[in-house]
Amino acid sequence: MSDNILEMRHIVKTFPGVRALSDVSFAVRRGEIHCLVGENGAGKSTLMKVLSGVYPHNDFEGEILLNGKNIEFNGIHDSELAGIGTIYQELALVPEMTVYENIMLGHELRRGMGIDIQEMIQRAEDLLKRVRLSVNPSAKVKDLGIGKQQLVEIAKALSRNVSLLILDEPTAALNEDDCDNLLDILRILKTQGVTSIMISHKLKEVLSIAETITVLRDGQTICTLDREKDKVDEQMLIKHMVGRSIENIYPPRASKPDESVVLLEVKNWSAYDPNLGRKVLNNVNFKVHKGEVVGLSGLVGSGRTELARSMFGNPDGYAIAGELSFKGRKQRFAHPSSAIRAGLAYATEDRKKNGLVLIKSIQENISLANLQGVSKHGIINEELDKQTALNFVNSLSIKTPGINQLCMNLSGGNQQKVSVAKWLFVGPDLLIFDEPTRGIDVGAKYEIYTIINDLVAKGMSILMISSELPEILGMSDRIYVVANGTIAGELDGKSATQEAVMRLATQY
């Protein structure tokens, strides 16, 4: 009988109209790193919310045993007291407060009527040492990079004497260095007796760190695998996740870019961010041909998204110098609306934050960027609007009960398809696709790649920004590597290797 720190038995959780978890059971051994994998909508995050008390115990069926004892949580506070620390996908730090204030938030140390700042800084320093982060505890969190913020978050969890750490896609927003570092930290914590449950979409990362892997699909546990004993590899995981094996993650593309037509050319492009008070782009030069997929690789913070936004109507108000010619004409777009009119589209990296209006329906989101297309004299033709949405739902196979479904109720992959549909309805010549497959599952990824291939076959060009190297290598005709606000190098899509891209990305 192995020593289980946690057992969840026959968990059933339903939302109005949806059964998110139907009979999930799984066990975590003390001191291991246990990964949960599954497609989006498989129920991973819901399961962790059940465990951390976000859903109170009378909100679901089934039982949870912690250290062999039946537990009933009524809120996150209860699970924290029981030694469970949870780190969510979205960081939960207060940016304007200092590192030590964040770490000690909610259990500040008192001294007399006030708080004991000295002791709190001391405690924070000890905790930062445990996560191997050397920052000034009095620095503001907003001044740290996202990788460091993630570590502060872990230190915060550790400050509450956790024995079980839950991490929901902790590396989704991190670059490779920060990822590796985070995984190292988890290994160190393990030697200190902390058990971790990690949700991740990155299978390589899962295989490098997990001892045990549980696969969820459609709200059910498919299997729990021992990485060494079962000789788990990526193909095997994918097979369990999707219920079928995907032979090739990147669909072959028949079409070739038309190198005689330069669609977009950017010369000596620089941008200064008055809010940050520094240059975010410095002398960028690149071009995109008709029907081409150009990959824009680079570490997070290297300036890829800034480049896209500075071209797409500059909503951040950068001071820009340089030259941009699009469809053979020199132009500078003053607002996203003029960029869209000219034939440029930009699907953002964060669908929820600035891609979709989540509280509105699929129908309203799809026509949002091109309402002229469904209206006459400013009055919307309801029929046409509905028909348009319906056509895209069918052609992109968006899974939804109807076009009046609110976008917040869709899975990540389907939200991404709505975002794509919105831009396709505009009919752009160039689609800037920022992190096209972030946070979406393997099956939906394949569909997005297929859509990209269809689009370039029809003569559209795609500028794809991605943090996932295999995706950049698998999809791009040409690759530009961005580092430190400028183009560090150009590579051919076929011959490039991960190592070559990383060398360029990290040369500064």
Partner 1 sequence: MNELLTVLKKNIREYGMYIALAAIMAVFTILSQGVFISSRNIANLLNQTGYIAVLAVGMTLVIVIRHIDLSVGFLSGFLGAVAAVALTQWHLPVLLGILVVLVLGACAGLLTALPVAGLGIPSFVASLAGWLIYRGALMLVTAATGTIIIPQDSFNALGNGYIPDLFASQTFLPGIHKTTLLLGAIAIVMFILGQLSDRKRKVQYKFEVLSGGLFAGKLVFLSVILGLISWILAGYNGMSWTVVIMLAVVLIYDFIARRTVLGRHIYAVGGNPEAAELSGISVKNITFVVFASMGFLSALSGILFTARLKSATPQAGTLFELDAIAAAYIGGVSAAGGIGSISGSLIGALVYMSLMNGMNLLGTDISLQYIIRGLVLLLAVVFDVVTRKRRS
Near partner 1 by CB under 8 A: residue from 157, 288, 339, 448: 339
89-97, 239-247, 248-256, 340-348 -> range binding partner 1 (CB under 8 A): 340-348
Least distance in angstroms from the C-beta of 315 to partner 1: 5
3-state helix, strand, coil in the chain (%, to 5): 35, 30, 35
Categorise residue 365: left if φ over 0, alpha if ψ from -120 to 50, beta otherwise.
alpha
Q: Which stretch binds partner 1 (CB under 8 A): 47-55, 161-169, 170-178, 329-337?
A: 329-337
Considering the complex, state which of residue 294 and residue 366 has its C-beta at the smaller distance from partner 1. Answer: 366
Nearer to partner 1, 181 or 414 (CB): 414
Picking from 329, 287, 310, 221, the residue whose alpha carbon sits closest to that of residue 463 is 287
Question: Smallest gap, in angstroms, from Cβ of residue 337 to partner 1?
Answer: 4
For residue 434, give both structure tokens: 């920022």
* Size, binding site for partner 1 by CB under 8 A: 39
What's the token pair of residue 439?
Answer: 């946070």
User: In this complex, which beta carbon is closest to partner 1, that of residue 212 or of residue 365?
Assistant: 365
Q: Cβ of residue 60: shortest distance to partner 1, in angstroms?
A: 16
The H or E element that residue 395 is part of is helix 382-395
Closest approach of partner 1 to the CB of residue 370, in Å: 8
In the complex, minimum distance from the CB of residue 72 to partner 1, in angstroms, rounded to a whole number: 22
- Please report, as residue ranges, which positions from 176 to 235 form the binding site for partner 1 (by CB under 8 A): none
Query: Tokens standing for 503?
Result: 């060398």
Can you spell out the DSSP letters for 283-316?
EEEEEEEET-EEEEEE-TTSSHHHHHHHHTT-TT
CB 310 within 8 A of CB 253: no
Question: Between residue 15 and residue 54, which ones bind partner 1 under the rule CB under 8 A?
Answer: 16
Of 99-107, 232-240, 241-249, 330-338, the segment contacting partner 1 by CB under 8 A is 330-338
The nearer residue to partner 1, 93 or 345, going by C-beta atoms, is 345
* Residue closer to partner 1, measured from CB, 241 or 296: 296
* Piece of the chain touching partner 1 by CB under 8 A; list 88-96, 331-339, 446-454, 475-483: 331-339
- CB nearer to partner 1: give 142 or 353: 353
Give yes or no for residue 331 binding partner 1 (CB under 8 A).
no
Q: What stretches of 177-275 adopt beta strand conformation (E)?
A: 195-199, 212-217, 220-226, 258-273
Rounded distance between C-alpha atoms, residue 414 and residue 187, angstroms: 35
Exposed/middle/buried for residue 163 (C-beta within 10 Å: 0-12, 13-18, 19+): middle
CB 364 within 8 A of CB 392: no
Q: What residues numbered 347-406 form the site for partner 1, per CB under 8 A?
A: 348, 353-360, 364, 367-369, 371-372, 375, 378-380, 382-383, 386, 390, 402-404
What distance in Å separates the CA atoms of residue 123 and residue 161, rounded to the nearest whole number?
12
**Contact, 193 vs 163, CB < 8 A?**
yes
User: Please, what is the minimum distance in Å from the beta carbon of residue 424 to partner 1?
Assistant: 13
SS3 annotation, 440-455: CCHHHHHHHHHHHHHH
Smallest distance, partner 1 to C-beta of residue 292, A: 23
Our finding on whether 422 is near partner 1 (CB under 8 A) is yes
Between 33 and 369, name the residue whose CB sits nearer to partner 1.
369
Which strands make up the sheet holding 430-434, listed edge to edge?
Answer: 344-347, 430-434, 461-465, 293-298, 478-483, 486-492
Residue number with CB closer to partner 1 (90 or 382): 382
Among 161-169, 172-180, 244-252, 309-317, the segment contacting partner 1 (CB under 8 A): 309-317
With respect to partner 1, which residue has the nearer C-beta, 100 or 392?
Answer: 392
**What is the smallest separation between the CB atom of 253 and partner 1, expressed in angstroms?**
28
Q: Which is nearer to partner 1, 193 or 401 (CB)?
A: 401
Nearest alpha-carbon partner for 178 in 145, 207, 203, 154: 145
Using the minimum distance from each CB to partner 1, give the nearer residue, 161 or 404.
Answer: 404
CB 97 within 8 A of CB 142: no
* Pairing relationship of beta strands 319-326 and 329-330 according to DSSP bridges: antiparallel
The gap from C-alpha 55 to its chain's centroid, in whole angstroms, comes to: 24
Binding residues (CB under 8 A) for partner 1: these are 16, 312-313, 315, 335-337, 339-341, 346, 348, 353-360, 364, 367-369, 371-372, 375, 378-380, 382-383, 386, 390, 402-404, 408, 422
